[in-house]
Amino acid sequence: MKPQASVEDVQRVCEKIESLGFRAHPMPGAQRTAIGVTGNPGPIEPAEFESLPGVAEAIRVSKPYKLVSREVKSEDSLIRVGPAEGSANDGGALAGFVVGGPELAIIAGPCAVESREQALTAAESVKRAGARLFRGGAFKPRTSPYSFQGLGKEGLEILAEVRRATGLLIVTETVDPENCELVEEYADVLQVGARNMQNFSLLKRVGRSRRPVLLKRGMSATLEEFLMAAEYVLSEGNYNVILCERGVRTFADHTRNTLDLSVIPAVKRLSHLPILVDPSHGTGRRDKVIPLSRAAIAVGADGLIVEVHPQPDRALSDGYQSLHPQEFEALMAEIAAIARVIGRTTAASPRTMNDE
């Protein structure tokens, strides 16, 4: 649509699309609204739309993914997390956050919620260092059925307490369509894990959710498969998807996974969705988390999701890749310095070599 198109103009185009038996996907941007069309069995005539008031142009999308593509929406998507601005939700104590804007989105916390004390201690420390969002799994997809599977509902209750006590927004994983409703009640962002990137029933379920979705790249997924997974979510009407690179499997044995940072500029070129980097699962080794975090920010990621544990050596999952709280503080200071160079911000103040 043209930047000056009215709400009625957008509405009229959507009605026209629906009257043809297709689905309309209006996606507002900072300057203008893009309207995607899906459900059409073949090409439709652009002229049908170009004559309507407020329409700037009608474009045939050449890619297999449609709604996630920059062809449909050229402007970067800003994903609002948490209560809407000015809402009375939570007594107004909780501030929302925008992923994909100038401030880097930093999500930090333990792999899994293990106890009230562990979660609250972790949350206080990552908040102090400048994180705005807290991560912690209550439902854990584990490679072994005998490994710790998470605290389930009790874990979600603990996350709700963390949210109340710290004001941090909550990112937590939903592992199947059946538990999604429960997780939605507690999460500000629904995480879909790497192992579930092609769980199509889960993708469709979170596509019908009102919560934003953090979609992790599958460990052997191509870029096209990754974007197609995101397309599942958008095609159901949830346009608030945050992508996340978390490493792919290669022959390398010096790390758990190979963090594919080259996917960041590739995604930026093809899609309007923001993308974060997970340097914890991406490397699997604590000593590599800070260096790869620096690189991720430098290469243009919209933020990080990092595992931090008050006592990594006693963690019930992923302790060997979890940062100590003071290491996370150092990470925040380092990326704050890099952010400044590339025109982005963080809630932490940069530390230079001279401060050491």
Contact set with Mn ion (CB under 5 A): 111, 318
Number of shown-chain residues binding ligand PEP (CB under 6 A):
10
Would you list the DSSP string of 113-124?
A: ---HHHHHHHHH
Cβ of residue 263: shortest distance to Mn ion, in angstroms? 20
Residue 71 or 278: the one with the smaller Cβ distance to ligand PEP is: 278
Residue 176: CB atoms within 10 Å: 14
Cβ contacts of 145 within 8 Å, gap of 6 or more: none
Largest CA distance in the chain: 65
216 contact choice in Mn ion, ligand PEP, none (CB below 5 to 8 Å, kind-dependent): ligand PEP
Cβ contacts of 285 within 8 Å, gap of 6 or more: 255, 256, 320, 321
Cα 90 off chain centre by: 23
Applying CB under 6 A, the span of 1-9, 180-188, 189-197, 340-348 interacting with ligand PEP comes to: 189-197
Q: Which of residues 207-226 bind ligand PEP (CB under 6 A)?
A: 216
Please report whether residue 111 would count as binding ligand PEP according to CB under 6 A: yes
Applying CB under 6 A, the span of 10-18, 188-196, 198-206, 235-243 interacting with ligand PEP comes to: 188-196
Phi, psi of 80 (to 5 degrees): -85, 130
Q: Which of residues 254-313 bind ligand PEP (CB under 6 A)?
A: 278, 281
Cβ of residue 6: shortest distance to ligand PEP, in angstroms? 43
329 contact choice in ligand PEP, Mn ion, none (CB below 5 to 8 Å, kind-dependent): none
Positive or negative torsion for Cα 42, 46, 51, 52: positive
d(CA 125, CA 108): 10
Phi, psi of 143 (to 5 degrees): -60, -35
193 contact choice in ligand PEP, Mn ion, none (CB below 5 to 8 Å, kind-dependent): ligand PEP
From 127, 205, 211, 246, residue interacting with ligand PEP (rule: CB under 6 A) = 246
Cβ of residue 176: shortest distance to Mn ion, in angstroms? 18
Q: Which of residues 123-142 bind ligand PEP (CB under 6 A)?
A: 137, 141
Residue 83 or 284: the one with the smaller Cβ distance to ligand PEP is: 284
Cβ of residue 288: shortest distance to Mn ion, in angstroms? 15
Cα 320 off chain centre by: 24
Residue 299 CA: distances (Å) to CA of 143, 273, 296, 302: 31, 16, 5, 10
Residue whose C-alpha is closest to residue 182's, from 220, 213, 209:
209
116 contact choice in Mn ion, ligand PEP, none (CB below 5 to 8 Å, kind-dependent): none
302 contact choice in Mn ion, ligand PEP, none (CB below 5 to 8 Å, kind-dependent): none
d(CA 198, CA 228): 9
From 194, 264, 301, 336, residue interacting with ligand PEP (rule: CB under 6 A) = 194
Residue whose C-alpha is closest to residue 246's, from 225, 269, 275:
275
Residue 141 or 167: the one with the smaller Cβ distance to ligand PEP is: 141
From 36, 83, 150, 193, residue interacting with ligand PEP (rule: CB under 6 A) = 193
Instruction: Give the residues lining the site for ligand PEP (CB under 6 A).
Output: 111, 137, 141, 193-195, 216, 246, 278, 281
